[in-house]
A and B are shown apart, each in its own frame.
Chain A
């Protein structure tokens, strides 16, 4: 194997366990391509598991230059320690400049351990990546201070520069069956991990997600004041044939189930219209709605940050506006 051509590249962890993870990997390959072109290097995807080589072609068709494969029965289950051992050895041998992974449950458990093993920095749940034209450093943009600001993080002295990336912030490249890439099988040493054993792993029922498919999404925040006020949103959703979403404080208060949670730790929605009521507009939440085509916000505080990202900001008491809106719609339909 020509080791020289594999050195100092942009690496992406190949997370293939379900459709969603697969998509985030493809999104990172696309972003990685852009970074690699600026840095005049290659994009390599790391693929670990048992009989996983079929994914290698998929990654190449979506833009990977190289896929590094480790196949072993003991890598079949996603396993933080075994995966850390394999990837850390590869990183020590090939010295990647950048190592990216999706901020999935597994990515967020695996990358911190790997970063610590490699004694390097890691930024969490990034919403943008770029190469600084002056220094060539990876600029990692991540929500900070509870999501009210964005922090631009750099790892200047340590390598690789590691980051987990929020799903759906980058677009994948179209599938190109004619793309050419290399599949390599570097040496691995896998010791059976007897400390952590997955006894059972059951796929949870995948339900069609009404919230993510909806053309109208109505989101309530804690500014609504009470669970009873929040319940009015369901009535509104029924009248408009939309779905109801919630912010983190609302879920914590028990007004809505976690499955309605939008934002950084919840879902991302892209409806035609999003109506945001009694939400202040913390970035943790707005990360999940920024791709809505039109955003209408209702809040009593004219200074609320949500108005900065709304197409139409209505300054008023939701307790007065909501009942009147419901009444008006009922009379029309």
Chain B
């Protein structure tokens, strides 16, 4: 079974720091990692390979430093890593990103049996790219899967969707996006990481290798534009109090009393 896992490199910190004057991300000093749900997808792929044989290829589109995440994937046990990188890719929305990934997948020989990815990323959180790759490749998709069973030439998967537990049979090739419950994630042994970073091989493909024009990718190939960034507006009282724990507790209790959720103390 030949499996492709699509991963995205994301900032490691739950809080992303913003330069509020320039409205840009502060990248200095932020560590990057594989998007947590993509990591689950990778484990699910490795698990299927263990029981059914075949190869696991990891793909990632991003700037050159995305190579680090692919090396992490190699350390976890992936057979092959391909970084899709080209200055022309910058500014791609999900339509353009899915195009680059789908073109890369369609170049693989043999064509993979299964595509895996996380159901969404922690940074942009759209969940669009998986279904859009499936659409471009003309293969079926099932999203938010928490259990995968292989049955001959199809998969039987389970997923929770809007209050329903669905059991779905899908023919291969197919794209599956996974939820956190799909597979436990092992921590990576330091030795494997060292080997992957010193000897691991990461192939790089750009526009030329993929046979895509610059019109199809990046800002030019995107249908959406970010017109501006806004800071959320708040209309709260915004009273800030510093002081001893006693003072803070008294203010808190006073507020609960004021809104009638706590009876006022006698005397």
Contact A145 B242 (CB under 8 A): no
Residue B194 at the chain A interface, CB threshold 8 Å: no
Contact of A124 among B127, B130, B160, B174 (CB under 8 A): B127
> Is residue B212 within 8 Å, beta carbon to beta carbon, of the partner chain?
no
Stretch in B47-55, B59-67, B195-203, B217-225 touching the partner: B217-225
B142 engages A298 (CB within 8 Å): no
Q: Which of B36, B156, B161, B237 contacts A311 (CB 8 A)?
A: B237
A119-134 interface code vs B (CB 8 A; 1 in, 0 out): 1111111000000000
**A315 interface residue per 8 A CB criterion:** yes
Report the separation of the CA atoms of residues A206 and B165 in the bound assembly, to the nearest whole angstrom.
12
CA distance A311 to B234 in the complex (A): 10
B156 in complex: contacting residue of A147, A199, A298, CB < 8 Å: A199
Q: Does B118 contact A (CB under 8 A)?
A: no
- Whether the pair B241, A315 counts as a contact (CB closer than 8 A) is yes
* Chain A contacts for B223, CB-based, 8 A: 115, 119-122, 155, 157-158
Query: Nearest Cβ distance between residue B114 and chain A, in whole angstroms?
Result: 14
Decide: B125 and A115 in contact? CB cutoff 8 A: no
Q: Name A21's contact: one of B162, B246, B256, B259 (CB within 8 Å).
A: B162
B125–A125 touching, CB < 8 Å: yes
Among candidates B126, B239, B245, residue contacting A320 with C-beta atoms closer than 8 Å: B245
Chain A interface size range: 35 or more
B16 with A145: CB separation less than 8 A:
yes
Within 8 A of B (CB), among A276-301: 280, 282-284, 286, 293-296, 298
* Cα A153 to Cα B222 with chains together (Å): 12
Task: Check A282 against B168 for contact (C-beta < 8 Å).
Answer: no
Flag if B18 contacts A201 (CB, 8 Å): no
Q: Is residue A104 within 8 Å, beta carbon to beta carbon, of the partner chain? A: yes
Q: Which residues of B contact A298 (CB under 8 A)?
A: 248, 252
**Chain B residues near A156 (CB, 8 Å)?**
225
| Residues of B1-40 whose CB lies within 8 A of A | 11, 14-16, 18, 23, 25, 36
Residue of B nearest to A19 (CB): B163
Asked whether, in the complex, the Cβ of B239 is within 8 Å of the Cβ of A282, the reply is no
Task: State A158–B96 Cα separation when bound (angstroms).
Answer: 14
Q: What separation, in Å, do the CA atoms of A231 and B174 have in the docked complex?
A: 43
A154 in the interface, Cβ–Cβ < 8 Å? yes
Which residues of A lie under 8 Å from residue B144 when comparing CB positions? 105, 109
Which residues in B have their C-beta under 8 angstroms from that of A104? 162
Rounded to whole Å, the gap between the CB of A83 and the closest CB of chain B is: 12
| With contact pairs A296-B255, A307-B238 given, residues A196 and B169 touching in the complex (Cβ less than 8 Å) | yes
Which of chain B's residues have a CB closer than 8 A to the CB of A314? 241, 248, 251-252
Measured between beta carbons, the chain B residues less than 8 angstroms from A310 are: 236, 238
Q: Is A332 an interface residue (CB 8 A)?
A: yes
Residue of A nearest to B24 (CB): A145
Within 8 A of A (CB), among B123-137: 123-132, 134-136
- Residues of B within 8 Å of A212, CB to CB, are none
Q: A200 vs B167: C-alpha distance in the bound complex, in angstroms?
A: 5
For A105, A206, A324, A329, the residue with the greatest tally of chain B CB atoms inside 10 Å of its CB is: A105
A113-B141 in contact given A20-B162, A152-B226, A153-B225 (Cβ < 8 Å): yes
Stretch at the interface among A53-61, A62-70, A136-144: A136-144
**Are the C-beta atoms of A282 and B170 separated by less than 8 Å?**
no
In the docked arrangement, what's the CA distance between A157 and B225, Å? 10
Instruction: Name the B residues within 8 Å of A248 (CB-CB).
Output: 14
A321 adjacent to B224 (CB under 8 Å):
no
Q: Is the CB of B98 within 8 A of A264?
A: no
Beta-carbon nearest neighbor of B255 in chain A: A312
**CB of A186 within 8 Å of the partner chain:** no
Q: How far is the CA of A104 from the CA of B144 in the complex (A)?
A: 12
Tell me how far the C-beta of A326 lies from the nearest C-beta in chain B, rounded to whole angstroms.
9
- Residues in B225-267 with C-beta less than 8 Å from chain A: 225-232, 234, 236-243, 245-246, 248-249, 251-253, 255-256, 259, 261-262, 265
Q: Report if A81 contacts B (CB, 8 A).
A: yes
Q: A21-B162, A202-B165, A240-B256 are in contact. List 14 more A-B contacts (CB 8 A).
A: A80-B141, A109-B161, A112-B94, A119-B95, A119-B223, A121-B93, A154-B227, A196-B141, A197-B169, A308-B238, A313-B239, A314-B241, A325-B249, A328-B249
Q: Which 9 A-B pairs have the closest CB atoms?
A: A121-B223, A121-B224, A124-B126, A112-B128, A105-B161, A112-B131, A116-B135, A146-B16, A315-B242
Query: What are 28 inter-chain pairs, A to B, with CB distance below 8 A?
Result: A18-B164, A109-B143, A109-B144, A109-B161, A113-B141, A116-B98, A120-B95, A121-B95, A125-B126, A145-B16, A146-B122, A150-B230, A151-B230, A153-B224, A153-B226, A154-B227, A195-B171, A196-B168, A196-B170, A201-B165, A202-B165, A204-B160, A206-B163, A294-B255, A310-B238, A315-B248, A316-B242, A316-B245
